[in-house]
Amino acid sequence: RGNSRAQPDTNTESSSDPIEVKISGPRVQSVRPGETVTFDCSARPKIRIEDPLNFAWTKENGSLPPGRSTDSGYGILIITSVETDDSGTYVCTVTAGAFRV
């Protein structure tokens, strides 16, 4: 009862994207209120890119929970003390110079 569902969005990749992005772990995670949920996004360039990879997590149609979410900047998103309002789709965006996936 009162489960919160969070699903990372990985549908932004196409065969022509210069960066391959992968989400580790289950695509949909169900946790109880008060628990902690972790999402892990990794990426690697498919072409030679001089710029470093930058990772950013967002929540579709909302914002990350203030004070309870930590975006490492390296692809890890942690949400502590999950609330039912945290349910939704979380998006990992990877940029490298002019490239964005």
pLDDT tens by residue, 34-67: 999 999 998 887 778 788 888 999 999 999 999 9
Average pLDDT over residues 6-14: 46
Q: How far apart are CA 3 and CA 83, in angstroms?
A: 9
| Rounded CA separation 74/90 (Å) | 15
* Count, residues in the chain: 101
Q: Is 84 helix (H, G, I), strand (E, B) or coil?
A: helix
